[in-house]
Structure 1
Amino acid sequence: MQTWQVGRFKITKVLEFPIEVGLLDGLIAQLTPDTRHEIDWLYPDYLNESGQILADMHCFVIDTGEHVILVDAGCGNGKSYPMQPIWSNLDSPFLERLAAAGYGRGDVDVILCTHAHLDHVGWFSMRDEAGQWVPTFPNARLVMVRDEYERHLGQIVEAPEPAAAGTTEGADEVDLIDRAFRPDVSALSDQTRLIQEESFQPVVDAGLLELVPIDGEVLPGVRYVSTPGHTAFHHSVRLESDGAAAFVTGDAFHHPIQIARPEWSSQGDWDPVASSRSRRAALEAYVGTDVLFLGTHFAGLTAGFIVEDGEGFRLVEKAATEA
């Protein structure tokens, strides 16, 4: 289990599951098997020998000594994801891994959400013994940027537009990631409605949702940082304690190739130009510093430090100030 110390804050990576090799092929169009040979530091943590993406689903626990914070909440168990059926009805040992890290469900008192996509919200709620959806972390406030939550709700439409003629033909042959990232309005509305019912609404009904403004401070030393592009109001998380700092990417960065090539955007980005701009701004802000850079889907070496690498950047295990 990977852990890091940032001032008084202890950060722990808690794995939900590795993402199936091949599922994310095509997510970043410019990332081809040849990329491994062009950018050798991506292998073996982030690309396999065939040049396919290696990634995982995990959450970060931030233990400040006064609060236990969960950053993003994975896919969750038993959820309905018709747009990504391979992640539906999961039965992962995430809560057991969380307990092994030293945290029970009642210990988490703040949840942060970088954005409202299905693979970041699932553990907000779980089924109880009666089969009802209830907050997974009964003592935790879900603190979220208001604009992002309202964007999420705005995708639920009462009269969705019909799918274009012929879109269901050969549906079984549609690439899963393509199905997830290029939905029609009706499919997106239906999926969003399920996410609201199964993940958000139990938290809302329990009075645990707290909405904050763009770039809002959550707790002393913990704040949201606007990194738009993947969604219109996507936010990363900035941590500061005793002169040390860290940056949790969310999906501003899907894969470390975007550190080397910040102009390469994900197929799932709402605005590729904006997402590229957000990445470059973060890299330029943290290059050569001792700010710990934590990737929300990075496998292998999940966190490190940004250094210059020719005309681009790379992720390394030690800060430049320690070299």
Structure 2
Amino acid sequence: MTCVTTSTWSGERLRLARPHTYEEARGTAMRTWTVGDFKISEIHELPAELGLFDGLIPEAPREVVQTIDWMSPDYANEAGQILADLHCYVVDTGDQKILVDAGCGNGKSYPTQPVWSNLDTAFLERLSEAGYERDDIDLILLTHVHLDHVGWCAVQDETGAWVPTFPNARLVVVDAEWQRHLDLMLPDGGDAIAESATGADDGEVDVIARAFYADAETFSNQAKLVQKESLQPVVDAGLLELVPSGAEVAPGVRYESTPGHTSAHHSVRLESGGEQAFITGDFIHHPMQIARPEWSSAGDFDPEMSGRTRRAFFEASAGTDLLVLGTHFTGSGAGYIVEDGDNYRLVQERPA
């Protein structure tokens, strides 16, 4: 099992600036891993603006983050601020090319997280740099239906209509997670775009509260916008495929239930040639939750369940050769779980 970066990682820029661009956050690095016969490529979308995730994990104010010695410099800065980014993975099995999660997307309406509204990133260009074009993708697997994991399911065509980004790809979602998303959309009420969806922000709004503690109508309207701009074009094209929990969606590629962030959140387990990897989705938002499994994110549907899910996963994975790839991890972006006292840490060296 190997990891390859095509150029030097430029993490220092991330620690010293409020990055908004791929180049500022990543230099020109592109990372790939091999797992048996599978090739996994990380396709970077954008860094989370420094400070955006402050408060994401309520038990971890900056001064507490600073006490976890392995957080800095890869996963937090010296001031204890969380570092995070948004990226997707292409899993190339040789027979199929599978996109795992689909980021925020460009030009979307996100009133609950306006900093990610109306983006204009070079995600598709970076996908091409990794060797994949839009027509090449065979499957899109969603770990869960949240706005920062579904956006590239659709793009606007020359007329402004939303159309599937990957016209040959089936969109695969666990049936219970799809139903959870549908249930958010109340039958009454509009789906008008709030002024905050333009991305403007007066700096006085608690972004964590807006994203995760809104009322039912706000969540409903956001879900309707996500459906309209990202998911319905795929449904209308007949490309949606719902599968049960634990489904093997391709040889060596299967969903694994990791509930807590949402009630039906699923991660993706990869197995090839006697090697294995695990793409987390959001059941692990940040490596800090490896150091402290019971520290749940503000956005978790069931924080206690989320903590139990993580600890059970770490107990089963510690000391094994399971490569863990974090959907929002900065730094190395991946590693192996090892015991660290009563808890765990993420390391780069594969356990013997």
TM-score by shorter chain over 0.5? yes
Cα-to-partner distance string for 1:49-81 (whole Å, 9 max, x where unaligned): 110000000001100001000000000000000
Q: Which one of the candidate residues 165, 172, 175 is aligned to 1:136?
A: 165
Alpha-carbon distance in 1 for matches of 2:119, 2:108: 7
Alpha-carbon distance in 2 for matches of 1:286, 1:63: 24
How many residues in Structure 1 have an aligned counterpart in Structure 2? 313
Q: Which one of the candidate residues 224, 232, 238 is aligned to 1:201?
A: 232
Aligned identity (percent) is 63
Superposed structure 1 runs of 4+ greater than 6 Å apart: none
Partner of 1:283: 314
TM-score, normalised via structure 2 length: 0.87
Q: What one-letter code is carried by the residue in structure 2 that aligns with 1:97?
A: R
Alpha-carbon distance in 2 for matches of 1:20, 1:29: 18
Partner of 1:122: 151
How far 1:205 sits from its partner (Å)? 0.5
Alpha-carbon distance in 2 for matches of 1:126, 1:237: 25
Alpha-carbon distance in 1 for matches of 2:166, 2:242: 18
Write out aligned runs for 1:141-160 (5 A): 141-159=170-188
1:307 aligns with 2:330: no
Cα-to-partner distance string for 1:143-190 (whole Å, 9 max, x where unaligned): 1101100110110001369xxxxxxxxx97321122001110110000
How far 1:35 sits from its partner (Å)? 2.9
Alpha-carbon distance in 2 for matches of 1:79, 1:68: 25
How far 1:287 sits from its partner (Å)? 0.5
Q: Which one of the candidate residues 217, 221, 244 is aligned to 2:248?
A: 217
Partner of 2:289: 258
2:70 alignment partner, SS class: helix
Alpha-carbon distance in 1 for matches of 2:183, 2:62: 38
Alpha-carbon distance in 2 for matches of 1:284, 1:65: 32
Q: What one-letter code is carried by the residue in structure 1 that aligns with 2:208?
A: I
Q: What one-letter code is carried by the residue in structure 2 that aligns with 1:118?
A: L
Partner of 2:273: 242
Aligned 8 A contact 1:160 1:185 in 2: no
Alpha-carbon distance in 1 for matches of 2:350, 2:293: 20
How far 1:215 sits from its partner (Å)? 1.4
Partner of 2:213: 182
Aligned 8 A contact 2:66 2:79 in 1: no
Alpha-carbon distance in 1 for matches of 2:305, 2:189: 27
TM-score, normalised via structure 1 length: 0.95
1:4 alignment partner, SS class: strand
Question: Could you list the runs of 5+ residues in structure 1 that have no partner in the other structure?
Answer: 162-170
Aligned 8 A contact 1:306 1:319 in 2: no
